[in-house]
Structure 1
Amino acid sequence: MLKRSTPPQVQALVLLIGLGLAPLAAQADIHLLAPSRTLDPSQPFKLSLMLSAETEARSYSLPELLRVTLTPDLGALVSVKLRLEAPLPPQIDLRPGEFLRINYVGELPANLRGRVRIDALDLDAPAMLVQLSTPSAPADAVAVAVAPAPAAAAPGEAASAPAVTTLAVRADSDPNLQDQGRLSFNEPMFAVVGSGIEANAKFQISFKLRLYEPADKLSRRLVDNLYLGYTQTAFWDLTGESKPFVDTKYKPGFFYQSPSTGLRVAGNEVGFAAGYEHESNGRDDLDAKSRSIDILYVKPLFTVGDSLGFHGTFEPKLFVYLDKDENPDIQKYRGYGDFRFTYGKNNDWQLALDLRKGTLSKAFSTNLQASYPLNRFVAGLSGYLMAQYFTGYGETLLNYNQREPWALRFGYAIWR
């Protein structure tokens, strides 16, 4: 056990790596043990090694220091040294069937936040990503650490719960992987090709940047959840003589987004986003068919079902126009909302349906997407196989008031 006199520690990390420590002993059975997922931040970071000799006698020689580098998302690398918690003899001999746990401890920078990459330089082990969060109070009963009892509150004062640093190793089944980094996905990113309309090819890039990384990953404060976003969608005619771009949409934005509002529907947290968005085709005047709009929007996110299994989402984006002078009747074809439904599983197939209804009775648009992870076909591949079907008005901003009968495209998605 660590003594209470140990210097305070604001942040802590989890390493869950079960590989050998090759630089220390060839073919030795040495494994890293992860501490609990929640720790008392008043204690230093502890990393444990398990030495074993399952079938034959083994000898080990361990260094006094372990070197670890920590690289925060979009931040500078930090080097940390962990020291043996207790002195060891120069050589440790284990008989068959014996096990021995060795602890390394050290101080970690208090300003580490968000997603952090872990590299243990003295270990033959891959890098690791962990998510750091230090809420002011335990977020839920399942993740409460056992911490020393707080001092008794003075008369008339409420007792405050100790801060607990939560350490979550990134998992493939996490439904919010895109939100762990400061620079992350925003809307789907893909490249697809097909037929049906002039723009037989289409590709889109989209990302967002979190302006400030809070100490508490689940904070709902305004300043802790502000993002800059950018989406660009290009429509390409690959069959034309010069293979021209039919139109391109540029969509920067500034918005608030939180995956948790404290409200629950069907047992799941309700997410929320709201902000400002400009959309333009980048042309400079009406003679060049310039198109642009500015909107303010709100966008809740509802989830139905187990987010780690097959589940559905509903994401209505409701908006008002701030400026639409270059296309004053655009609400007749686009309306005042976009409605997105999805059903699927994070590591399996997914269907997504985007609906849009203008104020004109005939103005109805549908965009259906189906996707499937490529690593289900070949291990190690990234991204998704994607199919898209569109019919209706306004796939391009240039031709927002013209009906497209249909478009069917197939291709590759980085994010869906």
Structure 2
Amino acid sequence: MSHNLRSAPRRTLPIVTASAMLSLTAALAPTIARADINLVPPGRTIDPAVPFRLSLMVTGEAESRSYALPEVLRVNLTPDLGAVARVELRRETPVPDQINLRQGEFRRIDYVGEVPPNLRGRVRVDAVDMDAPAMLVQLSTPREAAVAEPMLPPAGSGERPAQADAAATPDRAPATVLTVRSDNDPNRQDEGRLSFYEPMFFVAGAGVDANAQIQLSFKLRLYEPADKNSRRFLDNLYFAYTQAAFWDLTADSKPFLDTNYMPSFFYYVPNTDWRVGGNAVGIAAGYEHESNGKDGSESRSIDTLFVRPYFTFGDTSDFYWTFSPKLYAYIEKSENPDIQKYRGYGDFRFTYGKNDDWQTAWVLRKGTKSSAFSSDLQFTYPLNKFLPGLSGYLMAQYFTGYGESLLNYNQREPWSVRVGYAISR
């Protein structure tokens, strides 16, 4: 703990544990003196290649007293699906170990620490020696802006390059584009390497056969790049797994009528350079296998290649629309060669709602057979509206049509109405 962090040019991280305000009070008040502790936090996305200092604001709340300042703060850094790294933050501001503050006076002290160069993505920060809640930061090295080549004027024209004019005119400097995010839903979090994919829920109710349904779904980013906004192919490869089980709770043995397994590999970026209605368009494309794990006459499986754009319309801080059609081509369907007659070549998902309020989603399929279609309508409402601090959603579902389960893809279900709990929507 005695080595000098400033002795070598290494990568440093802004480690700001806003929750440390409470526990640092003890370190800053060895006697009965009181101090108000405030930390100036960075943004949620941090460039680990740029030095950043923890800004500790200490304000005296009593008569003139001396406050002891900690020399070293120890923190644990835990990346998603990675090992814990121990980091020490050393006081950088040249101040004595004790400072004197009168009531109302304040002082700013900075701390700096090293970060292992292999840490990337979302990182959990825990103060080791303090009873303080953890925080999450995103480590990401931003892409360098492309530098345009100056246009040279014709020889002998006497004109100066446009770059020289831009440098001489401050109001022509490159603009910084700020993106405003809407994450005011307590159920939503910054995505880590392992995150939700399709909706996850359990619902039960009334229907012809399968009166209950369970669906689990997640996706894993296979490689965490240095720049979280990278568009490179290898930087945005995902593995996803979805499992949907259809359950008959009214039968004597309460059997699972069918279970569908859907692993997939795909390229996915949530924010492309293409914008529609002022909102960025996302894109996913890849391979998906779907089967029910049975043999003999009940065996069902398909292999598809798919592309899925994500469109958003309206102000995402209020009620807004999304449209995400999933278009696919069958590359293997020998066990159910006529499945396109009932399922078609696409799933069309529409949603309307607000991130921290109710939302309705409608998934529509249309087969090549004129009478074949399916409609899955889902309504969700945040449970923390009823009880603050409660996670998840109250969910209601209505289904009609063909192909809710893979086993009975060519059988029409008149209707199913179910109510239950959703982890994600």
TM-score between both structures, scaled by the size of structure 1: 0.86
Partners of 2:71 and 2:405 in 1: how far apart? 63
- Which deviations, in whole Å up to 9, do the C-alpha atoms of 1:132-189 show, x marking residues without a partner? 21122259xxxxxxxxxxxxxxxxxxxxxxxxxxxx9x98438995672111111000
Structure 2 vs 1, CA of residues 58 and 6 (structure 1 numbering), >3 Å: closer, same or farther? same
- The code of the aligned residue for 2:338 comes to D
Are residue 216 (structure 1) and residue 223 (structure 2) matched? no
Q: Match of 2:318, as an amino acid?
A: G
Tell me if 1:301 matches 2:310. Answer: yes
Task: Tell me what 1:163 maps to.
Answer: none
Superposed counterparts of 1:17-416, under 5 Å:
17=18, 19-20=21-22, 21-25=24-28, 28-35=35-42, 43-54=50-61, 56-137=63-144, 172-173=183-184, 180-286=191-297, 289-416=298-425
Task: Output one character per residue of 1:177-233: Cα deviation in whole Å (capped at 9) or x when no partner.
Answer: 567211111100000010022111100000111110011111111100101111000
Instruction: Identify if the C-alpha distance between structure 1 residues 175 and 321 changes in structure 2 by more than 3 Å, giving closer, same or farther.
Output: farther
- Contact persistence 1:178–1:185 (CA under 8 A): no
Say if 1:7 and 1:42, in contact at 8 Å, map to a contact too. no
- Give the corresponding residue for 1:164: none
Is the partner of 1:45 in helix, strand or coil?
coil
Please give the alpha-carbon distance, in whole angstroms, between the structure 2 residues aligned to 1:368 and 1:298.
22
Assess if the C-alpha contact under 8 Å between 2:218 and 2:240 holds in 1: yes
Q: Contact 1:23–1:124 at 8 Å: present in 2 too?
A: no
1:331-365 CA-partner distances (Å, limit 9, x unpaired): 11000000000111111111100000001111111
Give the 3 Å change call, closer, same or farther, for CA 132–176 of structure 1 in structure 2.
farther
The alpha-carbon deviation at position 105 of structure 1 amounts to 1.6
Q: Name the % identity.
A: 66
Q: In structure 2, do the counterparts of structure 1 residues 348 and 285 end up closer, same or farther at CA, with 3 Å as the change threshold?
A: same
**Residue matched to 2:167:** none
Q: How far apart are the structure 1 equivalents of 2:65 and 2:404?
A: 67
Contact (CA 8 Å) 2:28, 2:70: kept in 1 or not? no
Give the SS at the match of 1:75: coil
Q: CA deviation at 1:251?
A: 0.5
Q: Are the structure 2 counterparts of residues 221 and 413 from structure 1 closer, same or farther at C-alpha, using a change threshold of 3 Å?
A: same
Whether the aligned pair in 2 keeps the contact of 1:178 and 1:184 (CA below 8 Å) is no
C-alpha contact 1:44 1:107 (8 A) present in aligned 2: no
Q: Specify whether residues 40 and 219 from structure 1 end up closer, same or farther in structure 2 by C-alpha distance, changes over 3 A only.
A: closer
- For 1:83, the aligned partner's letter is R
Distance in 2, matches of 1:63 and 1:311, equals: 48
Q: Per the alignment, do residues 14 and 268 of structure 1 end up closer, same or farther by CA in structure 2, a change over 3 Å counting?
A: farther
**1:294-319: CA deviations, max 9, x gaps?**
11011011011122322111000111
The CA distance in 2 between the partners of 1:392 and 1:73, in whole Å, is: 41
Amino acid corresponding to residue 213 of structure 2 in structure 1: K
Moved more, 354-363 or 129-138: 129-138
Q: Distance in 1 between matches of 2:123 and 2:198?
A: 24
> Hey, what's the Cα distance between the residues in 2 that align with 1:199 and 1:8?
63
1:189–1:206: 8 Å Cα contact kept in structure 2? yes
- Mind listing any 5+ residue stretches in structure 2 that lack a counterpart? 1-5, 147-178
Any unmatched runs of 5+ in structure 1?
A: 140-167
Q: 1:366 to 1:36 in 2, by over 3 A?
A: closer
- Given the superposition, is the C-alpha separation of residues 176 and 407 from structure 1 closer, same or farther in structure 2, using an over 3 Å criterion? closer
| 2:27 partner amino acid | L
CA 1:42–1:209 in 2, change beyond 3 Å: closer, same or farther?
closer
Q: Which deviates the most, 83-92 or 8-17? A: 8-17
Q: Is the 8 A contact 2:199 2:422 kept in 1?
A: yes
In structure 2, the partner of 1:165 is: none
Aligned Cα RMSD in Å?
2.4
1:92 alignment partner AA: I
Contact map agreement 2:187 2:392 (CA 8 A) in 1:
no
Equivalent residue of 1:332, what SS?
Answer: helix
TM-score (normalizing by structure 2): 0.84
